[in-house]
Amino acid sequence: MSKPDRIQRLLRRHRSIRKKISGTAERPRLFVRRTNRHMLASLIDDQAGRTLLSLTTDSREIGEAATGSKSDRAAFLGAKLAEKARAIGVEKVVFDRGGHPFHGRVKALAEKAREGGLVF
């Protein structure tokens, strides 16, 4: 039997996490997706099945303003996400790291989102 590859392990961890957490209108799920180049962060209401807010480092608004390393851009994304979330009335979220380990870019995004006023 072959060893599962990296993506299969990531998906298995993500399914395990999703069994335990879910977003609501009062406390949406902050989903983080990491690629080799970019980060995506979304606020999702799982009960209604809709995305409240979605930002990525690939977008024009974030990409032009954020400079430096990938961790710096992820931190900027977290700060911008917190700012926009508070503008739409969201202050508490459930953090969903998407199966990624909580360090590096994922941790930088989470810390800046907390500093920006999101509670999780």
Q: What is the pLDDT of residue 3?
A: 73
Name the token pair of 39: 């980060």
Query: What are the pLDDT tens digits along the chain (120 aa)?
Result: 567 798 899 999 999 999 999 999 999 999 999 999 999 999 999 999 999 999 999 988 888 888 889 999 999 999 999 999 999 999 999 999 999 999 999 999 999 999 999 999
Q: Residue 36 is part of which domain span? A: 25-115
Within a domain: residue 98?
A: yes
Structural domain contains residue 96: yes
In a domain, 5, yes or no: no
**DSSP H helical segments within the chain, as ranges?**
6-20, 60-65, 70-87, 105-115
Instruction: Check which CATH number belongs to the domain holding 67 and give it.
Output: 3.30.420.100
Question: Residue 20 domain-assigned?
Answer: no
Residue 110: closest CA among 48, 49, 34: 34
Res 93: pLDDT: 97
Q: How many domains does the chain have?
A: 1
Is 49 contained in some domain?
Answer: yes
- Structure confidence at residue 60 (pLDDT): 86
> Residue 19: inside a domain, yes or no?
no
